[in-house]
Amino acid sequence: MATDVTCLYTRVRNNSGVRKKYGFLPPHGHELAANAELLVLGDLRSRIANHPNARDRQNASFEAALGNNHITLIRTPEPIMYDVLTDATRMIKFSNNSLVLDDPCWESLAR
């Protein structure tokens, strides 16, 4: 059985209304059709902020695209927490207007 790791990805959508290239999308930029979505491993915000080259330019482009509503972050990975006393890994999720603890996506299929 395949392991579900979708909870580890950021989903971003091109809202610009036209095909557009976003140079800040890892690893070397992506061109997205209007309303197209892209999955990026990890938290996109962290990947852009920690990029070793052209960090300021990429941050400015990312912020401008968000501010102009050219892209939308559909989802980002939930925080993963580890409890040393119970040896349990949990994710903090938003569900029904509340924060809840849940099993990581890769463990939910193992049951």
The token pair that represents 78 in the structure block: 């939930």
Clarify whether residues 61 and 17 are in a common domain: yes
Print the domain residue range for 13. 6-75
CA atoms of 5 and 7, how far apart (whole Å): 5
Clarify whether residues 24 and 41 are in a common domain: yes
Can you tell me the mean pLDDT for 38-58?
81
Clarify whether residues 28 and 59 are in a common domain: yes
- Residues recorded for the chain: 111
Q: Quick check: is 1 in a domain?
A: no
Look at the chain and report how many structural domains it folds into. Answer: 2
Percent of the chain residues past pLDDT 70, beyond the cut: 90
Q: Quick check: is 109 in a domain?
A: yes
- pLDDT given at position 2: 62
Can you tell me the mean pLDDT for 7-20?
95
| pLDDT tens column, 65-88 | 999 999 999 999 999 999 999 999
Clarify whether residues 17 and 38 are in a common domain: yes
Q: Quick check: is 29 in a domain?
A: yes
Clarify whether residues 15 and 62 are in a common domain: yes
Clarify whether residues 22 and 59 are in a common domain: yes
**Secondary structure (H, E, C), the chain:** CCCCCHHHEEEEEECCCCCEEECCCCCCCEEECCCCEEEEECCHHHHHHCCCCCHHHHHHHHHHHHHCCCEEEEECCCCEEEECCCCEEEEEEEECCEEEEECCHHHHCCC
